[in-house]
Structure 1
Amino acid sequence: MSEHPLTPPAEAKERLRRQALTRRAALTGVDRAEASLKLADFATDLELPAAVAVAGFWPIRDEIDPRPLLVKLRDMGHPLCLPAVIHPTLIFRSFGRDTKFVPGGFGTMAPCPDAEELRPDVLLMPLAAFDSRGNRIGYGKGHYDRAIAVLEKEAPVVCIGLAFDVQEVGEVPAEAHDRRLDALLTPTGLRRF
């Protein structure tokens, strides 16, 4: 028995997380690659104001790969950045074609520490599961929750989840500290909340 038993909402989130990640893992490599490329087709649907800074993420395990979408957004004039884990939160470092990358923790890559820090206006976020109301389940570490809280002390940030359609669940048991997504992009299109 663990020292800190999970609360009912946390227990439900963990169950939904496992189910959604199992479905995601069952996708073939070809299906994941095709779906990742498809995201770029919806870049203009995001309707981002000109030149706003966009934070992406480096995909791990069998996550949807945002890099084709990021290339399209860069070509549209958006400065890009990626998260780096600096406990207890995330910072965001600028990157471009010639950026050198270093291991960023959790199997990700991040721009090297001498890359310029950049405050994103838009977060493209990985997730384990989502529901039709824009609630998301992350991986349980709270990095994005803390980063959003820090960023929003300065100015609003638009949060857009990126996922495969198979990651949708009936209902995420949202808690007071959970930040609902503004939008979600899957290979079948953009949903706004």
Structure 2
Amino acid sequence: MSDLTEIKAAARKAAFARRKEAFDRNIPGAAGHLSEVLAGYRGVPLSGFMPIRTEIDPLPAMAEAAAHGLVAVPFIQGRDMPLKFSRWQPDGPMREGPFGAAVPEVDDYFEPEILIVPLVAFDAQGGRLGYGGGFYDRTLELLRTKRPTLAIGFAFEAQQAENLPLEETDQPLDMLVTESRVLQF
């Protein structure tokens, strides 16, 4: 294992512990600021995510956005591939997808212009540490070659870290939303 791999593994371990602590507090209205941000982009096609394990829950904000335009959730096509995005509806039929995240029962793919991005840790400069598969980095890089694509990280405040071990291939966030604030980069 390389030094960077070990450093990233340690950063993830610490961030997972902080995220679990925040998740266990069951913070009411955690998606409130995300709803406010998305209200400024009514009708713009976007992708959220189906929360797994101890991730913060974007579903209330996604449901509000779905009343005004297309909302998708990511679908993992395979290792080293970008994500695809399938249309999501609140209370729509879902099936189990790769890595335990639910996906719509019927595939209805489109390319979003806004991605609400899950993460393990973030920094004050828009850096993001994910799970290590590179799915969002590949996807953002691809989408950004086609048109401006807004990447909004959504996380608990407790997931902020200093000095994240980032690489050249890591795509930056444009904005970060937590249960208590909005950061723009």
TM-score, length basis structure 2: 0.90
Q: 1:86-112, CA deviations, whole angstroms, 9 ceiling, x for partnerless residues?
A: 112210001224532111111110012
User: Aligned residue for 2:132?
Assistant: 140
Question: Does the alignment pair 1:102 with 2:95?
Answer: yes
Segment drifting more, 20-29 vs 158-167: 20-29
The separation in 2 between residues aligned to 1:171 and 1:135, in whole angstroms, is: 9
**SS of 1:71 mapped into structure 2:** helix
User: Aligned residue for 2:8?
Assistant: 13
User: Aligned residue for 1:32?
Assistant: 26
CA contact (8 A) 1:102 1:111 kept: yes
CA contact (8 A) 2:97 2:103 kept: yes
1:118 offset after TM fit, Å?
Answer: 1.3
User: Aligned residue for 2:66?
Assistant: 74
Amino acid at match of 2:122: F
Amino acid at match of 2:138: R
**SS of 2:87 mapped into structure 1:** strand
Question: Does the alignment pair 1:92 with 2:91?
Answer: no
Larger Rg: 1
1:33 offset after TM fit, Å?
Answer: 4.8
- Unaligned 5+ segments in structure 1 are none
CA contact (8 A) 2:30 2:57 kept: no
TM-score, length basis structure 1: 0.87
1:15 offset after TM fit, Å?
Answer: 1.1
User: How many residues of Structure 1 are paired with residues of Structure 2 in the alignment?
Assistant: 183
Q: After TM superposition, what 4+ stretches of structure 1 lie above 3 angstroms from structure 2? A: 45-50
**SS of 1:25 mapped into structure 2:** helix
Identity level (%): 31
**SS of 1:124 mapped into structure 2:** strand
1:11 offset after TM fit, Å?
Answer: 2.4
The separation in 1 between residues aligned to 2:33 and 2:165, in whole angstroms, is: 31
Amino acid at match of 1:93: S
